[in-house]
């Protein structure tokens, strides 16, 4: 009997430890994000081996992107680092757009349309505004911010005033923005089916210093704007009264309304700020990656990728920043992987797996909560069968004397 008990106790302890580790792990958003990224790379490695390729090519390409080190030639070119940051900036900003809305209880699928609105506004200002140094590109960026905020604010107003689903509204607004951008851009003299005339140099975000230190990459002033957007997100959400009211509205609209918060105003403001982030992404791409305006024929997909960036980053400012760098790294490494005989689809597979795995977190939490409730029910049933009646605690401050016990 003692031997049987001794065998059962380690099993129970192991099971309890496993449950505790799983519970702690799923409650930590940071640990989950790191784990799903590692798991995504692990599965990708297995797939590469399955098709008869060397997974070392994938990792050497990633190393070259983040450090500039080419292991095959033994050379270092920091231009790869600059291009990695260029690819990451719009992803981070569109991730902030999605994350900001999510923190306020909204689901913004319209970052792609807000991004297109930002591109269009930035291009018009870059072409028509007087070529005054610094002021020129500053005004173009401000116009993109305003256009993105306006496009997002429309959805917020419809949601607040008429209870229109923001999911449906943003999807429709994406296409309106895309085709409106094409129609408006064609009105610029000298525009063909692909591009507009060249922007004046004063309208670009080019930074000679950043280009010099990254060996003539396209890294530009947009990196400072992107960092500023991350800090702004962090300050607004965590340190201001506005952020508190927006988060309160997202948690419980009825409670927020009871607390004196204007729910309709909060919804409109949240979507407007969310749209401004995506509009800024459009300005950085339009004025930093190109020297001319583009006639958009299809979506650039930064807005849609931003949804995944926000999910992996847990909708936190710095988490989205790191997540955007991860996604930008994979996109920048894709051509290098192809040169190493790695299928180009592997980056999309990794990103898709990361999103799928991180989406499973909610399901795991539900399972844990169900197990805890089931365990509590079983414990209560055992106590009832054994006739054990839980003692009620004595009132706070009550004094039990010995005389009372004898009585």
Q: Is residue 250 part of a domain?
A: yes
Q: Does 405 have pLDDT greater than 50?
A: no
Q: Is residue 282 part of a domain?
A: yes
Helix (H, G, I), strand (E, B) or coil at 206: strand
Helix (H, G, I), strand (E, B) or coil at 80: helix
**pLDDT tens-digit profile of 284-339?**
999 999 999 999 999 999 999 999 999 999 999 999 999 999 999 999 999 999 99
Kindly give the residue spans of alpha helices, DSSP state H, lying in 111-164: 111-128, 135-162
Q: Is residue 60 part of a domain?
A: no
303, 115 Cβ separation under 8 angstroms: yes
Q: Which of 65, 23, 32 is nearest to 319 (CA)?
A: 32
Structure tokens at 283: 């300005």
Examine the domain organization and report whether 172 and 304 are in the same domain: yes
Averaged pLDDT of the chain: 88
Helix (H, G, I), strand (E, B) or coil at 379: helix
Structure tokens at 147: 């256009």
pTM metric for this prediction: 0.86
Q: Is residue 140 part of a domain?
A: yes
Examine the domain organization and report whether 97 and 155 are in the same domain: yes
Structure tokens at 53: 């390729």
Tell me the longest C-alpha to C-alpha distance in the chain: 104
Confidence of residue 406 (pLDDT cuts 50, 70, 90): very low
- Residue 371: per-residue pLDDT: 73
Q: Is residue 400 part of a domain?
A: no
Q: Is residue 390 part of a domain?
A: no
Q: Which residues pair with 292 in a beta bridge?
A: 198
Q: Into how many domains does the chain fold?
A: 2
Q: Is residue 71 part of a domain?
A: no
Examine the domain organization and report whether 5 and 93 are in the same domain: no
- Work out the angle at residue 230's Cα, subtended by the Cα atoms of residues 225 and 231, and round it to the nearest 5 degrees: 95
**Higher confidence at residue 381 or residue 69?**
69
- Determine what percent of the chain is predicted with pLDDT higher than 90: 71
What is the CATH number for 139? 1.10.3470
Examine the domain organization and report whether 331 and 203 are in the same domain: yes
4-18, 46-60, 370-384: the lowest-pLDDT one: 4-18
Q: Which residues pair with 75 in a beta bridge?
A: 70
**pLDDT tens-digit profile of 131-151?**
999 999 999 999 999 999 999
Q: Does 237 have pLDDT greater than 90?
A: yes
Q: Does 18 have pLDDT greater than 60?
A: no
Mean pLDDT of 44-61: 94
Examine the domain organization and report whether 177 and 325 are in the same domain: yes
Examine the domain organization and report whether 36 and 177 are in the same domain: no
Q: Quote the DSSP letter at residue 207.
A: -
Determine the structural domain holding residue 178 and report its residue range.
81-342
**pLDDT tens-digit profile of 181-207?**
999 999 999 999 999 999 999 999 999
- Length, in residues, of the chain: 407
H/E stretch holding 346: helix 345-385
The answer for residues whose C-beta is within 8 angstroms of residue 380's C-beta and 6 or more apart is: none
Examine the domain organization and report whether 265 and 348 are in the same domain: no
Q: Could you tell me the sign of the dihedral formed by the alpha carbons of 246, 251, 253, 259, in that order?
A: negative
| DSSP percent split of the chain into helix, strand, coil, nearest 5 | 75, 5, 25
Examine the domain organization and report whether 99 and 245 are in the same domain: yes
Give the count of beta carbons closer than 10 Å to the beta carbon of residue 71: 13
273, 236 Cβ separation under 8 angstroms: yes
- Residue 25: per-residue pLDDT: 57
Mean pLDDT of 1-12: 52
The Cα–Cα gap between 326 and 330 comes to 6
266, 256 Cβ separation under 8 angstroms: yes
127, 197 Cβ separation under 8 angstroms: yes
Helices (H) and strands (E) in the chain, counts: 16, 4
Examine the domain organization and report whether 167 and 202 are in the same domain: yes
Helix (H, G, I), strand (E, B) or coil at 310: helix
Examine the domain organization and report whether 232 and 280 are in the same domain: yes
Q: Is residue 75 part of a domain?
A: no
Examine the domain organization and report whether 99 and 215 are in the same domain: yes
185, 123 Cβ separation under 8 angstroms: yes
H/E stretch holding 13: helix 2-27
The Cα–Cα gap between 65 and 54 comes to 18
Examine the domain organization and report whether 353 and 318 are in the same domain: no
């Amino acid at each position: 009997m003692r031997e049987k008990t001794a065998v059962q106790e380690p099993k129970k302890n192991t099971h309890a430890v496993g449950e505790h580790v799983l519970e702690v792990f799923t409650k930590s958003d940071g640990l989950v994000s790191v784990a799903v990224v590692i798991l995504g790379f692990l599965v990708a490695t297995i797939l590469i081996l399955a098709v008869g390729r060397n997974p070392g090519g994938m990792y050497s390409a990633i190393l070259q992107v983040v450090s500039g080190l080419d292991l095959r030639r033994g050379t270092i070119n920091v231009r790869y680092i600059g291009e990695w940051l260029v690819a990451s900036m719009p992803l981070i900003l569109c991730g902030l757009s999605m994350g900001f809305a999510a923190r306020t209880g909204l689901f913004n699928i319209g970052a792609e349309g807000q991004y297109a609105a930002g591109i269009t506004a930035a291009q018009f200002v870059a072409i028509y505004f007087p070529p005054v140094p610094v002021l020129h590109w500053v005004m173009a960026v401000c116009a993109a911010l305003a256009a993105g905020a306006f496009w997002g604010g429309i959805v917020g107003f419809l949601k607040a005033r008429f209870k229109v689903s923001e999911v449906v509204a943003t999807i429709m607004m994406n296409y309106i923005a895309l085709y409106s951008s094409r129609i408006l851009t064609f009105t610029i003299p000298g525009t063909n089916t692909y591009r507009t005339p060249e922007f004046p140099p004063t309208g670009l975000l080019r930074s000679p210093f950043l280009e010099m230190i990254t060996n003539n990459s396209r890294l530009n002033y947009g990196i400072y704007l992107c960092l500023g957007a991350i800090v702004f997100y962090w300050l607004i959400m965590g340190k201001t009264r506005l952020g508190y009211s927006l988060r309160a509205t997202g948690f419980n609209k009825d409670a927020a309304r009871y607390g004196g918060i204007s729910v309709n105003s909060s919804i409109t403001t949240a979507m407007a700020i969310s749209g401004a982030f995506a509009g800024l992404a459009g300005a950085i791409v339009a004025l930093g990656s190109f020297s001319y305006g583009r006639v958009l024929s299809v979506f650039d997909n930064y807005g849609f990728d931003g949804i995944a960036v926000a999910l992996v980053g847990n909708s936190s400012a710095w988490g989205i920043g790191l997540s955007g760098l991860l996604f930008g790294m994979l996109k920048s490494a894709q051509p290098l992987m192809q040169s190493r005989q790695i299928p180009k689809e592997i980056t999309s597979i990794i990103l898709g797996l990361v999103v799928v795995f991180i989406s499973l977190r909610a399901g795991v939490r539900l399972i844990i909560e169900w197990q805890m409730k089931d365990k509590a029910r079983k414990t209560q049933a055992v106590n009832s069968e054994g006739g054990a009646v839980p003692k009620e605690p004595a009132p706070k401050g009550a004094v039990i004397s010995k005389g009372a016990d004898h009585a």
